[in-house]
Chains A and B, each alone.
Chain A
Amino acid sequence: MKLNPFRRERRAKVAIRHFAYFNARVLAMRAKLLPKETYPKFLQMGIPELARSLGESEYKVAIEQLGPKYRGVDLVEFSLNRNLATTFHGLIEKAQGELQSLLMDYMRYYDLENITTALRGKLSGISDEDVEEAIIPAGSLTDAQLKRLIEASYDDTMEILRKMGYDEAVDLITDLPLPEVEDHLIKMYYANLLEKTSGGSKNMKMFHHFISIDIDFMNLINFLRLKRDGTPPTKVMEYMMPGGAQLPHKKLKELAGLDMEEILTRIEGLAYFREHQGALTGEKDSLTALEASLLKFQLNYAVREARQNPLSILVVLSYILAKRVEVANIRNIVRGKEGDLPTELIRKQLVL
């Protein structure tokens, strides 16, 4: 499986002084992420208050731009999208050479997400304008390309996608239901990233390592969900993504035959959780809380590794993860509030 846009290009090695510059900027940006104490406050606020409060932080520009057009949940969600895209775009613009091309590849995730969002919009008849705001233009597709994608009819979309080089995606889309297409696209995305970064410079290797950790945690969460739903082991394995760092395919296969209790004890033995014995077992009963704490472990692990390699690509990767977590947290809060979920339930979803 291969997506055409992933062309292997040779890029200049990145000088240490560029990492010093770039990572200092990233660290300054990380210092501006919302502090932990903000979330309990958000939980007490109404949605307009929350939106206003966001408008006093790094989300200021997005809230100001969308403020006249949208209200309530839409305003917050669309501002989050816009901010995420400008932030990540900014990162790519500030980076140079190999660092830049790796980040661009990493951000192609949003291309796939945007394609599926656009298709879903077409299938469910959401207005083009709303689809446009739901899109996160952080990937490699330009605004013009995205606009064409959104405005085209379903059949034209396929044609456009082919032109953009997503032939295989189109073949999938015509054969499979959308959720499975999504799953396949993500698998393609990771497989390509892994292939592209195998071997190569020190930063390539670190990137590779980071991706394989990403895969581990994605697998873990999917694995636990599937197991909870009582999916048979062989079926579970179909959804697993190969290439994990500490949970390769073989190990997952072993786990798939066990029961939940046993699985969790085994998982706790992984290096990610070594310093926090018992942290997972306490959360067993609720999968929501368990997923949140898994994400937290991934984030902590990434931050720890970044700290050990302050002049490497890991710094920006851990920032990207942290930024995504922040956006997901806010999204969970507003969605929970919109759906009138009890505060305690929303809190369980938060990665703090």
Chain B
Amino acid sequence: MGLKAEPMTRVLIVVPKDKVPAATSALYDLQLLHVHDHVEGRDGLALGHPLKGASVASEMLIRLRAMIATLEIPEVTVDMRRPITSLMEELEAKFDHLEHEIETLGDNRNRLRAETRNIEQQMKNLEPYISLGLDLDVYRDYETLEVIVGNLTGDPWKVLRNAKIPFELFKAKDASKTGLFALFIEQDRTDEVRAIIGEFNFTPVPSFEGKGDPRTMRVRLKEKLAKVNSSLEEVELDLKTIRKVHGESLFAAEEHLSIQIEKAESPLRCGSTPNALFVEGWVPTKRMADLEGTLTDAVGDSYHIEVLTDEELTGHSTAAVAADGGEPTSEEEEEAEHFDTSKETPVLSTNPEGFKAYEYLIKLVSTPRYDEIDPALFMYFTFPLFFALMVGDIGYGITFIILGFWMLNSKWKGVGIVTGITRRRLTKMIMMSGLFTIFTGLMYGEFFGLELFGTHGLVWPHYLYVPALDVYLPINRLEQAMLMINLCIYIGIAHMIHGLCLGIVNTNHHHGLKHAILGKFSWILIIIGGYFVFRILFTADEVVMTEPVMMSGLILMITGIIMLIAGEGGGGLLELPGIVSNILSYTRLFAIGLSSLGIAMTFNTLGGIMVSKGGAMIIVGLIVAFLGHFINILLALLAPSLHALRLHYVEWMTKFYTGGGREYEPFGRERIYTEV
């Protein structure tokens, strides 16, 4: 369940030239075959030619899409699907006329929009001149004078005076803030002056063509803008009317034409000879019969279908190489590179709905390969666990669940990539994590940062001894840091060993058992052995090498290292520090939680102090505490989930996951706006 992708069968369909339109159309409508794009020259086959009609339809589609773009039609939702024959007839009758109308209006709109932008820019350019207050004429048309307008910081005027440069200066009313000025100087000293004011962060203000009082100018520009805007609105209204009347049918026609073209261009994805088309692709094995049935319905028995096996594809299958037990020779590897079944075969995951959120998160890294274990199933349990260990608060857990219910029922559509079905799935994931969080909250005895249980417990100031684990519950995270760090390391070791076990399965499948044991099992030995050795080194008062635990730890570790060197050479040893840091990395389960708890406690204390003052401060205190927790909950959604993900991506998945697979994308698409 979920661990393996849906089994696929690779097929080669050969269709005679005259049956190609019927066959490709049928395949398109079936939406089952994942076409393997033909690369020109492979197997000595040329690329197919597009069918007749593709060019004419393309030409129309270009114009249609231009119309849709001009009308700025957003995605339309329609209740009724239009029958294509009447749709296309109707469209052809009005096409030229409609196109002309839309184009004219569109041109008008673009011109007016440009004009608005232009006027707005002018008004912005005018601003500094209004502040300066001088008439616009005074800035231009001098024989010997140069005018510099701009902003600067500081006081260059003294420098100008010292340099004996004659000048006249006008400062804006708000010059102390903006440093805006107009400077009149002799033309031949311009370079000198520019060099001086350049030292004072001088930025020039664009010049303004115009006459008279700048304020009058502003009024005039405003009037002009209003006029342009009103004609723009008129044009927009006309376009909107067209959009209302024709928008849906344009959209529907776009869909129909696109589908027609996709069908007509399907030979471009296939190999061909003068007499036949070779369609290669994959079908889910259990639906093989559907494929054959559809083709027979479409073209009778004039087609030929063949199931291709791995051996036929690569000459030497990877499995055969693995059975030899030896390294694949470079020649074989090259050939395997030419066609890698595990990479090329499309992946249709079989995860039940509940795991889909994790499938999505895994695909953020990379799509799993066809013959690889899909980690979604395991993440379904470990992700909420890690999340909960970090947050660990009964109150927050309950809040997440309530938030989740609200999200599922709210009309808010979500933002960015988290929309639609993904949003629902991620919401459910958060709710699941909330549930786990309640349990860990009980374990830590925390409720909105307050201690409910334990020695300082508000409700139940006692400990509960769990003999099986030799632990007193609840664990106080602040006071029992060592215990928490140890716990994190145990979890880390367990998780890593689990990852390595999956690695053994994957490697065994790909490269054989020998590789799996030398490359992955060796690490398990090193981790377990290393754990005991380090434990003793760090905690024992006196290190006795001959002690049985120490001895067996050392033996395990050394055996692992020897196996590793045998499998991967000395280079494998370079990863040893990496493994140590991987395991230590799990201490974030404690560290992130500590920061979350810290924030919660701070706001509780802060609120508490205010409430204790009495009076109106009670309300303020409550608000502070509420806001604090609100922020903390948002942070708790972000940081712990990211870190839980990271532990999976970086520490866990690197032990077994290759990725780089291809998603199953069957040829064809669903009609949304039209019907045949």
Contacts and interface: CB of A to CB of B under 8 A. Distances in A.
A44 B55 CA distance: 11
B287 to A, nearest CB: 28
B333 interface: no
Contacts of B63: 67-68
Contacts of A265: none
A48 B58 contact: yes
B55 A46 contact: yes
A44 B65 contact: no
Interface string B32-71: 0000010110000001111000111011011101110110
Given A44-B268, A48-B55, A55 B39 contact: no
Interface in A51-101: 51-53, 55, 61, 63-65, 67-69, 71, 75
A37 B62 contact: no
Contacts of B234: none
Contacts of A65: 66, 69
B99 interface: yes
A338 B477 CA distance: 76
Given A46-B54, A49-B54, A67-B62, A40 B261 contact: no
B103 interface: yes
A258 interface: no
B451 interface: no
Q: Which of A46, A55, A67, A75 has the most CB of B within 10 A?
A: A67
B372 interface: no
A68 B103 contact: yes
Contacts of A37: 37, 39
Given A37-B39, A55-B65, A68-B66, A45 B50 contact: yes
B103 A44 contact: no
A75 B62 contact: yes
Given A41-B268, A64-B66, A52 B99 contact: no
B265 interface: yes
A49 B49 contact: no
A63 B62 contact: yes
Contacts of B66: 63-65, 67-68
A46 B50 CA distance: 9
A42 B637 CA distance: 48
B40 A40 contact: yes
Contact count band on B: 20 to 34
Interface in B92-138: 99, 102-103, 106
Contacts of B55: 45-49
Contacts of B70: 64, 68
Given A37-B37, A41-B268, A64 B65 contact: yes
A67 B47 contact: no
B62 A55 contact: yes
Contacts of B65: 55, 63-64, 67
Contact of A44 (B39, B50, B58, B67): B50
Contacts of B102: 68
B47 A41 contact: yes
A47 B58 CA distance: 9
B37 A51 contact: no
A257 to B, nearest CB: 41
Contact count band on A: 20 to 34
Contacts of B69: 61, 64-65
Contact of B265 (A49, A64, A67, A75): A49
A48 B261 CA distance: 12
A52 B58 contact: yes
B37 A44 contact: no
Contacts of A75: 62
A46 B58 contact: yes
Contacts of A51: 58, 62
Nearest to B110: A65
A44 B37 CA distance: 15
Nearest to A43: B47
A71 B59 CA distance: 8
A44 B47 CA distance: 8
A48 B62 CA distance: 8
A52 B39 contact: no
B560 to A, nearest CB: 36
A63 B40 CA distance: 28
A70 B524 CA distance: 67
Nearest to B272: A44
Contacts of A45: 50, 54-55, 265, 268
B50 A49 contact: yes
A55 B65 CA distance: 9
B565 to A, nearest CB: 32
Contacts of A63: 62, 65-66
Nearest to B63: A67
Given A40-B47, A41-B47, A44-B48, A52 B62 contact: yes
Contacts of B58: 46, 48-49, 51-53
Interface in B209-262: 261
A52 B40 contact: no
Nearest to B102: A68
Given A49-B265, A64-B66, A44 B49 contact: yes
Contacts of A41: 47, 268
Nearest to A46: B55
Contacts of B268: 41, 44-45
B586 to A, nearest CB: 29
B667 to A, nearest CB: 15
A59 to B, nearest CB: 11
A339 B66 CA distance: 27
Q: Which of B62, B65, B102 has the most CB of A within 10 A?
A: B62
A55 B59 CA distance: 11
A33 B49 CA distance: 24
B59 A48 contact: yes
Nearest to A36: B39
Given A37-B37, A51-B62, 18 more contacts: A40-B39, A41-B268, A44-B47, A44-B48, A44-B49, A45-B55, A45-B268, A48-B59, A48-B62, A49-B50, A49-B54, A52-B261, A63-B65, A64-B65, A65-B69, A68-B70, A68-B106, A71-B59
Interface of B: 37, 39-40, 47-50, 54-56, 58-59, 61-63, 65-67, 69-70, 99, 102-103, 106, 261, 265, 268
11 contacts: A41-B268, A45-B55, A48-B59, A49-B54, A49-B58, A52-B61, A53-B58, A63-B66, A67-B62, A67-B63, A71-B59
Interface of A: 37, 40-41, 44-49, 51-53, 55, 61, 63-65, 67-69, 71, 75
5 shortest interchain CB distances as A-B pairs: A67-B66, A52-B58, A46-B55, A64-B69, A48-B59
